[in-house]
Every structure is written in C-alpha cells, then in structure tokens.
Chain A
Amino acid sequence: MGIRFVLMVNKQGQTRLAQYYEWLTLEERRALEGEIVRKCLARAEQQCSFVEHRNYKIVYRRYASLFFLVGVDNDENELAILEFIHLLVETMDRHFGNVCELDIMFHLEKAHFMLEEMVMNGCIVETSKSSILTPVQLMDKTS
C-alpha cells in the first residue's frame, strides 16, 4: 500500500477533495488535514515538494490556487508521486478542459471517479488517460 490519501486543498486551507485509502475517523481526518495543510502552505516555492509528517511522507504540488497533497508510505518514489499528481491534473484537464478549482467543486463526484480509476487499494493501477476517462465519459453519455 503506497498511497494513503489524496487531498486537494486550496490556498485558504479549505478541503476541496479528500480520499483516504485507510480508515480514519472524522476527527482524525480533520486533525490530519489541519496539520499537514498548515505545514505545506508554509513552505516556500523553491523548497522540496516533500514533507514528512508523523509516519507519512506528503508529496504536494501547487496548481494556481489549489494544492494537491498525496500522503504516501516512506518507501515510495516521491518524484514519481509528484508526477502522478500531474498526471491526475492532466487527466482532469482533458476531461474538463482548462480545469480549475470550480470544476472540481461543481463536479466533485467526477473528480472522485477519475481518482477511483487511477488508484485502487492505495496503488496506482491505471495511468493511461483514455482508459481512465472512457468509463467516466460513457457514464455521462448513458445518463
């Protein structure tokens, strides 16, 4: 199990999407999100995109106003996770066209569906954009 959670948080520290691959209670999530968001937002642009927090390593990346934070195990390849975030953004960009924070807010379930296609059991299972998007788009058409 490599990926423990995927978070999208905006510059003000508000959660825009949260997916956990291990069970945490509501209170635990709240505390964890608060702590790591504070840590990551405080970091300067040129510093590492990686932060250690408790037993997690957090890989984060900023796109405009939105931060993507991925919590991983200690032996994960941080650079690959950093690129995984970019792949996720590119995938959403292909679907929404110039994806922005509002797209994710208005289509929260779609963003989740894409993530569901890409990550299962905390593992990256699919990295082909067309394979990720086909089911999502088929679903759009049929309903």
Chain B
Amino acid sequence: MGSHGGFYQSKEFLDLVKSIGECRSKAEEDRIVLNEIETLKRRISEPDIPKRKMKEYIIRLVYVEMLGHDASFGYIHAVKMTHDDNLLVKRTGYLAVTLFLNEDHDLIILIVNTIQKDLKSDNYLVVCAALNAVCRLINEETIPAVLPQVVELLGHSKEAVRKKAVMALHRFYQRSPSSVSHLVSNFRKKLCDNDPGVMGATLCPLFDLITIDVNSYKDLVSSFVSILKQVTERRLPKTYDYHQMPAPFIQVKLLKILALLGSGDKHASESMYTVVGDLFRKCDSSSNIGNAVLYECICCVSCIYPNPKLLEAATDVISRFLKSDSHNLKYMGIDALGRLIKTNPEIAEQHQLAVIDCLEDSDDTLKRKTFELLYKMTKSSNVEVIVDRMIDYMISINDNHFKTEIASRCVELAEQFAPSNQWFIQTMNKVFEHAGDRVNIKVAHNLMRLIAEGFGEDDDTADSQLRSSAVESYLHILSEPKLPSVFLQVICWVLGEYGTADGKFSASYITGKLCDIAEAYSNDETMKAYAVTALMKVYAFEMVAGRRVDMLPECQSLIEELLVSHSTDLQQRAYELQAVIGLDAHAVECIMPSDASCEDIEVDKGLSFLNTYVQESLAKGAQPYIPESERSGMLNVSSSQNQYHHEASTHGLRFEAYELPKPVVQSRIPPTALASSSELVPVPEPLYSRESQQVASVTSVSDAGSSELKLRLDGVQKKWGRPTYPSPITTTTSNTTTQNTTNGVTQVDNLKTRDTYDSRKTPVEVCSEKQKLAASLFGGTSKTEKRPSSGGHRISKTAYASKSSDDISSVKAALVQPPPVQPPPDLLDLGESTATSSAPPVVDPFKQLEGLLDSAQDNSAVNYGATAAAKGPDIMSLYAETAAGMETSGIAYSTPTNRDDLLSGLSNPSTRSVPGGTTVTQPVQFSKGPNPKDSLEKDAMVRQMGVNPSSQNPNLFKDLLG
C-alpha cells in the first residue's frame, strides 16, 4: 500500500542499507558504520539542510545506534526535528529521541515544551505522536508539566487519542504512583469506553492496579466477566479477530485479571465459572492462538477457587498439550501441569511418561521447565531421584545464573524432604563441590548444625555413625584439587569437632590435613581461621582424653606464622591455641568440652558465685550495692532511660536523639532458623486415625503416610525447611479415579497410557527404564499408590520396623522391582494402532509453514552450491514429518502431490528458479501471503535501485510470510 512508491530515499541511503545488508562479518559492519559516523558528523551540522534530507540523516543515526555505536553527536538534531511542522518528520524526530534518550537525559527538558504544544494540536495524529513520546520521555519530575493535558485528552473525540492518553496515565502510574493516585478512577471509567481499543488498552493499567490491591476492584468482577463473555460471543468488531478467534489478546488479558480477582475468593470465582467453561469449549485447539487462550484458561482455573468441571477440562487440555508433537505445546503443558498440581496433585501421575520424555529431551528449555515442575511436585518419596537428577543437570550446564538457581533449589528440597541424614550430607557434598561458591553461607551453617545435632538426643550411636561418615567423606573429598571455600569451612569445622571422635583417625592425621588446607588456601583468611580453631579443638580433645599432644612440625610453623599475622583475628586464634595447649587437662575440658557445640551456654546473670565474696566484703564494712532504678536521686551521667523520660517531662526540652523504632522481631523466622518444628511443619497425624478418616484428601496421603513411616527423621530435617504449600485440603476436588477405582482398574489405566507411549518410543527397553524412573518420581503406579491408602492398615499391623526401612529405600525398591506392569507384546501392537488413529498430534500450522519455508530456503542454498548432499536427508525427514502430521490431523494443508513436488524440487534444480515462490500450497490463512509475481516485481525493483541480491545473502529477498 503505497510502500512501493516509498523508495524516495537518496542513493546514499540505499547504498548504506545495501552495504549493511551484505556485510559478512561484524568487523565489516563496524567499518561501514564508523565510516558512516564520520560522514554524518560532517554533514549533519551543515546549514540549511532540507527536511527530507534531515529525516534521512536521523534514520541513519538510528542505524548507527542500532548497530551498537554511539551517535550522541546527533541527538540534538533529533530533538530539533520534533519541532518540525511536517507530521512525518516530527514523528520520526520523536521516534529517534525515544530510541536515543532515557527519561533522565539532559536534552529531555528541551522537548517537554514541544510535547506540551503538540498535545494541544488540532491534528489528532500530532497529539498521538506527542503521547507516544510522553510514554517514553516524561519522568517523575516532568509529570506535572503534562498531566493536566493528558487527563483532558482522556475525553478526546478520537479513540486513538483516548487510548494513548490512558497509556500515558498508566506510564505515570508506573513511574510515580502517588502523582496520579487521585486519577486512578479514570481507568475504571475508560473500561466502559465505546471503543474496544480503548477498553483493551485500559486492561493494562487495571491489571497492574489489581495486582497491587485486589480488594478494591472486586466490584469489577462482573464487568470483566461480561466483557469476556461479549468478546467470546464475537461482539467486538471483526478487525480484532485473529485467526478466527475473537480478540484473543484481549481474552488473555481478561483471563489474567480474572485469575487475580478470583484467587481465594469463592464468591467471585463462582461468577467466572460459566464464561471460563465456555472458553474451554469454544477455543480452537488446532491453532496456536486458540491454545494460547486455553493455556491462559488453565492458569485462571488454577488460581481461582477450584471447580471440578473446570479442573477436568483443564486436565484434558493439558494431556492434549503433552501428547502433542510440538515442543511449544509440550512446554506449555508442563508449565500448566506445574500450576494445576497445587490443587490437583495426582494429575501429574497420569502424565508421568510424558514428563519424563520432556525431562530427557535434548531441548534445554523444555528440560529446564520440566525441572521446575519436578521441583514443585517433590515430596519425601521421590526427593532422592529428583535431586539427583537436578544435580546431574547442574553439573552439566555452564550458565552460572541457572547453576545458582538449581543449586539453591536442590538445597531447599534436600533440607525439606531428606529421607535420611546420610543422604542429606552426601547431597550437600555434591552441591557444595560443584556449585559451592554459589550457595548461601547459611546453607553451610545448617549443614554443620545438622551434623552436630544428628538424629536427636536419644540415639547416640546413629549420631556418631553420621559423624564418622561425614568425616570420612570429607577426608576423601579433600583430595580434590580445588574446593569452594564455603565447603572447606564446613569440612574444617567438622574435622575439628569430630575428626578424632571415633578413634578411627589419629590426631596427627587430622591435624596434618587441617594444616594442608590452611597452606593450600593461604590467602583466604577465613579459611585459616577455621583451620586454626579446628586444630585447637583437636588438640584440646586429645589432652582431655589424656593423650600426649605431639604437634606436627608443619602445625608448629603454621602457628608461628599466624602469631605474627596481619590479621588480628588470626593472631588471637593462634595465641589462644598456644595458651590452651599450655593448660592442664581439667582446665582444657572446661574450655573445650567435646561435642558441645549445640549445648546452651548458661550465663549466670546474677553472678551468684560471687555471693560469698560480697558477704565477706559487707561484713568488712563495704557499701551495699544500690540497684540503678533506686538511684534516681543522684546526678549520674549514665542514668537509666526512666530518668531521661522523667527529666524530659519536667524540662520540656529534649536534646537526645529520638529512639529508633524497634523492629518487629518475632514475626519473621528465617527459613533456616532453628525454630520449633511443630509450628513450621504441620505434624502429620498418625496413620491409624488417618485411615479411619476415609482418606479425605488424596492429595496429602502419600506424603503424610510416608513421612509418618519415617518417624523422627523427618521432624529433624524439617526444622530447616519450609513447607512448600500448605497441604491442600480440597475435599471437593479430590480426584475420584484414585479414590474409587480398585487397584485393578487403575492398573488398566496405567497400562493404556503406557501403551501409547510405548508405541511412540519404539525401543521397549528404554521404555521400561523410563517407567522405573517414572515410578520412582511419581511413586505413580498402582503399587506405590496402594501403600498409603489401602495397604496402610496391614502395614501398620505388621512389622513397624520393616516399614521404615521399606520406605526409606522405596526408590531403590522401585528400581529393583520389575516395573509393575510390563505390557505384553500383543498389547503393544494394539497400542501402536490406537496411537496413530486416536491421538492426532496437534499440528502447528506456522511451524509447518516455517518448516516448508526452511526447506525452500535450503533449496536455494543448494542452488548456490552449498552442501546439498548433507542437507538432503534432513529436508526429507523434515518434510516427511510434516506430511505425516498433516495426514493425521486431517487438515488439508497439502496433498500427496505436494510432497512429490517438494521432493522433486530437491532433486531437480530447475524448479528452484523462482526465488521466494515456494511450490507448496499455502494454508488458507495466508491467502494474501506469498505471490511469486509480486516478489519478482519487488526483486526487479530492488535490482533497479542498485541493490543486487548477492550470493552472500540470498535470503534478503525472501518474503517473510512465504
């Protein structure tokens, strides 16, 4: 539309664009741009440059900055251009300024005046241009300069202006909420605007407002619901349709808002059920945009007060997503699963194999998303498998940002669900070893505390076993060349405290190791401090035990070195060590009692041990002690606060500083704090009473059951963890399948799903491995499901002791056991046939289009003598895939003849003579899309302009859409 006539640009500009377009390397591009900068610097400040020319210069400046070079020399010219009368020139000026300057740039002040003027313009396009600039350039200080005009424009006759005025106000709200707090009601008004564009835009600020303060907007629930209803009933103008969906982007925004409003509000949620349910039915599940809206519906359903019907619909959509061949849909499915799992934990089990497929996919995005899901569904029965997997993944990646994230998640899960302390320590070792410098120091302190406190007070043998194993594992790890210092601190502390406790290792061995550490990390003072203190402990324990202390020569030299250290801390530690060694065994025992790190130190505040001395002194005629509170009459500089208050009230003047407000202390218990476990973690009820309770919530049964079986162990670990979500007691939503069906029926279900997957993944062995993994992850198959629910009674009646061991090693058991149900071969075949017919993969039309495009492109590459042979098979397989997809989905995008075309195109170069015109019939949606004739014309025109499609960049001329 008129754009072909747009080649009015000068030869110079065309040459620039052409040369940039044909660059082969960043260096070449940089050279061109630097050259351009020189030219522009010279030209742009010449007098009397025509408008058109100036506009072109400014665009060239935009290019310069876009390609990563500084164009600040020309900013002022862009600012000047905003003053121009010509609309196009003015708007280009505004555009350039918004691209160049941030809102705090000095030049902005020169534009505010222009903006003010333009906001008053009669031409609504000028007003729009100015409002665009307002959104980008006005900062907190300049808001008052334009605010009245912007508010006035909310009532402008042109909808485009009203829309932009709303967004300008939204921007002010983002920048400085207080500046527009009195104007917030305008957003409510604009929601009822006649124009759907204005209404749609208003949803953006309302979303922000509702996020911050839900309760003030509860009254709008019915409005939003009715808007959404009207949208789905196609009451909006046709122009808002996108791929046969009525205003899908507005639907998405509305669903987001409804999710906020309905969260935790039964009443509000109930009014949404109908419209969301309609959406589930109406959405076109064969298009991307339909699926986008469906996904948003799931998000909404998972946020609002649960409704069984909607949850069922959501579950159906999720399973469709997960079964799809499109990675995008799988990704959305995994994400949706993670959202729904909060209200409906057992749905993950239905999709265990799909989840594991995603976990093992080579696509990193999908893998990471799946880890996120696993993180959300971790419980004590599957924590070992999940954390092991996470650690493996953590080791395999290089990205520090994600490494940190995964490390902290591993730690969190391990703290919360560790099945045994031994496992916890081993896991921590791994995390520290591979991401040590990225974990919080608190984690290290927790680990030390765990080792010190062990299982509990009455089980001393287990405690010492734990400690010995920790010591042993650390001595082993010390042979590694480089360890993170946080981890080494833990190691030093443990070696000092328990290194010689079980008598397995001699003091000289341990001290030797400690000296090695101090030497190897000699520029880390904290490290050295830990090492010296550990040394002192080892020596002290030796003396208490009555053994002679033989200080190794390297220890001696280390201490001598530290005695003259620059660090006073290290000096003091060294002197203390020397002093302790000089004492007798009894004194040392008092100073350094063994294994007393967790004992409370009692402080005798009353100094009662001095009583006899005081009595003696009094008897000798000393003055008795008068408590401070009774000394009010005396003039004392260090008088108590009471006195200050007293004096203040009498004199009326206060010279001392006001007291600092006292921080509220108790409310925030850090997750790692050693707080009373009963408050933080809901103590699971005894299994017996649970059973008689008719298993109200299936959700927490397996969890509660297993944690119960694990006795005190869990209680200990959970001290440091936070509970993830309060155990969802959702009596209404408790899934009927697991509850009512007998084990046999569920088994059949499992069988079915497995079959379909089996058929998809041909190697059966791989599959059984996956099943094992699935079983250990989800505890999923009927075997494990049985234990907490129906098998509970029996187990509880039989051996109590065997139970705990059984559960701790449940994962091992699951792995050792043959997968509960091995599909017989004939069933497999059956599965194969059903899979192809019953599960049509959702085909993403664009994906296909892209696929076709790509093959077309590769063809052209072939044309230019690129690697034809290497590409060939790929294209074929790619095509075969899409073709198969199309056939099953039943959408007639292409016919078998097309396949022939494309394939012959591959083998026969002559069909490739038309660039840009692919030989494939296009989907209906793009009927206006590619047109070979058009492309050829454009191609010819561009050639005329002197821009020749060179062999270097053949794709430059390919139309984007076809």
A residues near B, CB below 8 A? 1, 10-15, 17-19, 23, 26, 29-30, 33, 43-52, 54, 61-66, 77-80, 82-84, 86-87, 89-90, 92-103, 105-110, 112-113, 116, 120-121, 123-131, 134-135, 137-143
Residues B853 and A64 in contact, CB atoms below 8 Å apart: yes
Known: A64-B955, A121-B174. A116 touches B132 (CB 8 A): yes
Residues A98 and B365 in contact, CB atoms below 8 Å apart: no
Residues B878 and A45 in contact, CB atoms below 8 Å apart: yes
Across-interface contacts of B327 in A (CB, < 8 A)? 46-49
Determine, out of B239-247, B658-666, B804-812, the stretch whose residues face the partner at the interface. Answer: B239-247
**10 tightest A-B CB contacts, nearest first:** A65-B955, A79-B292, A63-B960, A64-B958, A143-B88, A123-B204, A128-B239, A80-B292, A23-B102, A98-B959
Residues B288 and A83 in contact, CB atoms below 8 Å apart: yes
CB interface residues, B 68-93, toward A, < 8 Å: 68-70, 86-89, 91-92
Residues A77 and B239 in contact, CB atoms below 8 Å apart: no
Partner of A97, one of B3, B200, B401: B3
Residues B928 and A120 in contact, CB atoms below 8 Å apart: no
Across-interface contacts of A107 in B (CB, < 8 A)? 3, 6
Q: Does any Cβ of A come within 8 Å of B893's Cβ? A: no
Partner of A137, one of B1, B102, B935: B1
Residues A125 and B204 in contact, CB atoms below 8 Å apart: yes
> Separation in Å of the A4 CB from the closest CB of chain B?
13
Across-interface contacts of B850 in A (CB, < 8 A)? 45, 61-63
Residues A26 and B328 in contact, CB atoms below 8 Å apart: no
Residues A106 and B331 in contact, CB atoms below 8 Å apart: no
Residues B125 and A106 in contact, CB atoms below 8 Å apart: no
B residues near A, CB below 8 A? 1-4, 6-7, 9, 14, 17, 20-21, 23-24, 26, 29, 59, 62-63, 65-70, 86-89, 91-92, 95, 99, 102-103, 125, 128, 132, 135, 160, 163-164, 167, 170-171, 174, 196-197, 200-201, 204, 237, 239-240, 242-243, 247-250, 252-253, 288-289, 291-293, 295-296, 299, 327-328, 330-332, 362-363, 365-366, 368, 401-402, 846, 850-851, 853-854, 857, 878, 916, 928-931, 934-935, 938, 942, 947, 953, 955-962
Please measure, in the bound complex, the distance between the C-alpha atom of A65 and the C-alpha atom of B239, giving whole angstroms: 29
> Separation in Å of the B409 CB from the closest CB of chain A?
14
Partner of A96, one of B3, B239, B846: B3
Nearest A residue to B361 via CB reads A47
- Give 8 pairs: A residue, B residue, CB < 8 Å, sorted on A: A78-B328, A79-B332, A100-B958, A102-B17, A102-B957, A125-B200, A142-B88, A143-B86
Nearest B residue to A23 via CB reads B102
Please measure, in the bound complex, the distance between the C-alpha atom of A84 and the C-alpha atom of B247, giving whole angstroms: 12
Majority-rule SS of B interface residues: helix
Residues B295 and A77 in contact, CB atoms below 8 Å apart: yes
Across-interface contacts of A90 in B (CB, < 8 A)? 961
> Separation in Å of the B279 CB from the closest CB of chain A?
14
Known: A26-B65, A121-B167. A64 touches B17 (CB 8 A): no
Known: A137-B2, A143-B86. A50 touches B958 (CB 8 A): no
Please measure, in the bound complex, the distance between the C-alpha atom of A131 and the C-alpha atom of B200, giving whole angstroms: 12
Known: A100-B959, A131-B197. A12 touches B363 (CB 8 A): no
Give 14 new A-B contacts, CB below 8 A, not counting A93-B929, A98-B961, A121-B170: A17-B66, A80-B292, A83-B243, A98-B938, A103-B3, A109-B95, A116-B95, A125-B167, A128-B239, A128-B240, A131-B197, A135-B125, A139-B125, A142-B87
Nearest A residue to B947 via CB reads A102
Nearest A residue to B25 via CB reads A12
Across-interface contacts of A79 in B (CB, < 8 A)? 288-289, 291-292, 295, 328, 332
Nearest A residue to B365 via CB reads A48
Please measure, in the bound complex, the distance between the C-alpha atom of A106 and the C-alpha atom of B170, giving whole angstroms: 33
Residues A102 and B295 in contact, CB atoms below 8 Å apart: no
Please measure, in the bound complex, the distance between the C-alpha atom of A104 and the C-alpha atom of B871, giving whole angstroms: 30
Across-interface contacts of B853 in A (CB, < 8 A)? 63-64
Please measure, in the bound complex, the distance between the C-alpha atom of A23 and the C-alpha atom of B854, giving whole angstroms: 35
> Separation in Å of the A124 CB from the closest CB of chain B?
5
Residues B960 and A80 in contact, CB atoms below 8 Å apart: no
Nearest A residue to B949 via CB reads A102
Please measure, in the bound complex, the distance between the C-alpha atom of A52 and the C-alpha atom of B87, giving whole angstroms: 40
Residues A11 and B332 in contact, CB atoms below 8 Å apart: no
Residues B960 and A127 in contact, CB atoms below 8 Å apart: no
Residues A109 and B878 in contact, CB atoms below 8 Å apart: no
Across-interface contacts of B953 in A (CB, < 8 A)? 12, 65
Nearest A residue to B945 via CB reads A106
Residues B95 and A66 in contact, CB atoms below 8 Å apart: no
Known: A79-B291, A124-B249, A125-B201. A65 touches B65 (CB 8 A): no
Please measure, in the bound complex, the distance between the C-alpha atom of A68 and the C-alpha atom of B955, giving whole angstroms: 15
Known: A99-B960, A120-B167. A1 touches B174 (CB 8 A): yes
Known: A127-B242, A131-B197. A143 touches B960 (CB 8 A): no
Partner of B163, one of A87, A125, A130, A139: A125
Please measure, in the bound complex, the distance between the C-alpha atom of A135 and the C-alpha atom of B170, giving whole angstroms: 22
Please measure, in the bound complex, the distance between the C-alpha atom of A77 and the C-alpha atom of B339, giving whole angstroms: 13
Nearest A residue to B251 via CB reads A80
Residues B250 and A127 in contact, CB atoms below 8 Å apart: yes
Residues B960 and A89 in contact, CB atoms below 8 Å apart: yes
Across-interface contacts of A47 in B (CB, < 8 A)? 327, 362-363, 365-366
Residues A113 and B91 in contact, CB atoms below 8 Å apart: yes
Please measure, in the bound complex, the distance between the C-alpha atom of A86 and the C-alpha atom of B243, giving whole angstroms: 10
Known: A64-B960, A82-B288, A121-B135. A14 touches B23 (CB 8 A): yes
